[in-house]
């Protein structure tokens, strides 16, 4: 197998992988692809920070799967390939999913995790079937669904001098930044202490739905770039990496941006080298950065411990992965009204 693996991985030619893409003939295309990657990572990462803090990462995953049928149905109903129509379809599908999950979870003994699993796989399966059936009529095919097509964005029709996907993404990114700036403090309070927020008169449900809507928008954009399965990576990984390193929210947001930038650029070059899907490469690079960060924090902690010679942690070892008792804080953001 090793020989096969070796034949799989092309030799690493610095010139070809790193320098050439930025050469005169290729740099525009490179710029658009990496730029798109950065914008997707930034928009998703910022929203994702709040998902992480609100413990809604898996809801993000569910939404990323369920927009697929939304996109297809929206197209089939409206007959137009316009991006904005599809956005609407996706948002509707996203909201529908959340409502669906809550229906199952609150009206039967099915627990939340199973409800999420059932819903999004059913809807995603439906979406995949529709795509297979109507592939030639919709602007999607199975490969796009799985891998995204960020590598091809340069060849899309242009709007205002930019490739169309990049244009939409830019608008969304600006929207995210503006909303974040405007509602920062209220988002912070509703995330950290919903009880306090309510007593201050800040409508927690409003922000919850607002966040969900922005999530749906962001997910649709990311979906086109990296495919349905890896959207959740774009949402969670930058924020999670930042979370490991920061103690305060502003720092976490800033580091998310750094991660987004590095991940996309490194990922692009990784894809160039390995000749694989660009979207997957960007996600892999992001995950690699997460791993390096994790390693670094572990090493630092070990060094610190050696220095101060404290009693070492004992409570970790004797529980299985999924049943170690977390500190018993009640979940402040159950998926809409969950009581079990």
Q: Which is nearer to another protein, 18 or 302 (CB)?
A: 302
Residue 245 interacts with another protein (CB under 8 A): yes or no? no
Q: What is the Cα 279 distance to its own chain's centre?
A: 12
Q: Please, which residues have CB within 8 angstroms of residue 142's CB and are 6 or more apart in sequence?
A: 128, 131, 132, 135
Tell me which of 80, 82, 108, 205 binds another protein, using CB under 8 A.
108
The interface region with another protein, picked from 35-43, 174-182, 251-259, 310-318 by CB under 8 A, is 310-318
The 3-state DSSP class for residue 29 equals helix
Tell me which of 85, 95, 122, 135 binds another protein, using CB under 8 A.
122
CA distances from 213 to 47, 95, 233, 307 (A): 11, 8, 19, 48
How many Å apart are CA 256 and CA 42, to the nearest integer? Answer: 7
Tell me which of 31, 92, 244, 338 binds another protein, using CB under 8 A.
244
Subset of residues 211 to 240 that bind another protein, contact rule: CB under 8 A: 227, 229-233, 235-237, 239-240
Burial of residue 77 (CB within 10 Å: 0-12, 13-18, 19+) is exposed
Q: Which is nearer to another protein, 9 or 171 (CB)?
A: 9
Tell me which of 26, 298, 299, 300 binds another protein, using CB under 8 A.
298
Tell me which of 160, 181, 303, 314 binds another protein, using CB under 8 A.
314
Q: Which is nearer to another protein, 83 or 288 (CB)?
A: 288
Q: Which is nearer to another protein, 8 or 254 (CB)?
A: 8
Tokens of 277: 């899907």
Please, are residues 282 and 35 in contact by the beta-carbon 8 Å criterion?
Answer: no
Subset of residues 147 to 206 that bind another protein, contact rule: CB under 8 A: 147
The interface region with another protein, picked from 17-25, 39-47, 82-90, 273-281 by CB under 8 A, is 273-281
Measure the CA angle with vertex 43, ends 191 and 103; round to 5°: 55
Strand partners, 159: 162
Please, are residues 124 and 63 in contact by the beta-carbon 8 Å criterion?
Answer: no
How many Å apart are CA 77 and CA 157, to the nearest integer? Answer: 23
- Shortest distance, CB of residue 315 to another protein, whole angstroms? 5
Please, are residues 110 and 104 in contact by the beta-carbon 8 Å criterion?
Answer: yes
Q: Which residue has the tokens 């229906």?
A: 103
The interface region with another protein, picked from 31-39, 116-124, 191-199, 248-256 by CB under 8 A, is 116-124
Tell me which of 152, 274, 332, 334 binds another protein, using CB under 8 A.
274
Q: Which is nearer to another protein, 122 or 170 (CB)?
A: 122
Site track for another protein across 29-68, x = CB under 8 A: -----------------------x--xxxx-xx-------
Tally the C-alpha atoms within 13 A of residue 330's C-alpha that lie toward its C-beta: 9
Q: What is the dihedral of CA 166, 42, 74, 116, to 10 degrees?
A: 160
Residue 75 interacts with another protein (CB under 8 A): yes or no? no
The interface region with another protein, picked from 170-178, 190-198, 251-259, 314-322 by CB under 8 A, is 314-322
The interface region with another protein, picked from 13-21, 22-30, 31-39, 308-316 by CB under 8 A, is 308-316
């Amino acid at each position: 197998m090793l020989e096969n693996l070796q034949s799989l991985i092309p030799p690493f030619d610095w010139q070809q992988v790193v320098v050439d893409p930025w050469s005169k003939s290729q740099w525009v295309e490179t710029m658009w692809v990496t730029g798109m990657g950065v914008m997707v990572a930034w928009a998703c990462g910022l929203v994702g920070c709040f998902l992480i803090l609100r413990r809604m990462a898996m809801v993000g995953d569910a939404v990323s799967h369920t927009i697929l049928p939304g996109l297809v149905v929206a197209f089939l109903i409206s007959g137009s390939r316009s991006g904005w129509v599809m956005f609407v379809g996706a948002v509707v599908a996203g909201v529908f999913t959340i409502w669906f999950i809550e229906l199952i979870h609150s009206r039967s003994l099915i627990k939340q995790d199973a409800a999420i699993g059932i819903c999004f796989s059913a809807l995603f399966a439906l979406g995949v079937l529709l795509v297979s059936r109507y592939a030639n009529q919709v602007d999607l095919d199975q490969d796009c669904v799985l891998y995204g097509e960020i590598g091809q964005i340069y060849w899309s029709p242009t709007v205002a001098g930019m490739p169309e996907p990049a244009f939409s993404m830019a608008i969304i990114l600006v929207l995210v930044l503006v909303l974040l700036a405007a509602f920062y403090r209220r988002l912070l309070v509703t995330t950290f202490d919903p009880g306090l927020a309510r007593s201050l008169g800040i409508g927690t449900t409003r922000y919850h739905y607002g966040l969900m809507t922005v999530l749906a928008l962001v997910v649709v954009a990311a979906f086109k770039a990296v495919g349905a399965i890896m959207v959740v990576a774009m949402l969670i990984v930058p924020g999670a990496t930042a979370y490991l390193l920061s103690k305060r929210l502003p720092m976490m947001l800033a580091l998310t941006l750094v991660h987004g930038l590095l991940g996309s650029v490194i990922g692009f070059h990784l894809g160039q080298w390995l000749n694989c899907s660009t979207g997957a490469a960007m996600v892999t690079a992001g995950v690699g950065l997460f791993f390096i960060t994790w390693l670094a924090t572990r090493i630092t902690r070990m060094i610190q411990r050696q220095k101060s010679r404290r009693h070492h942690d004992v409570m970790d070892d004797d529980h299985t992965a999924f049943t170690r008792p977390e500190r018993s804080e009640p979940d402040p953001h159950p998926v809409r009204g969950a009581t079990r």
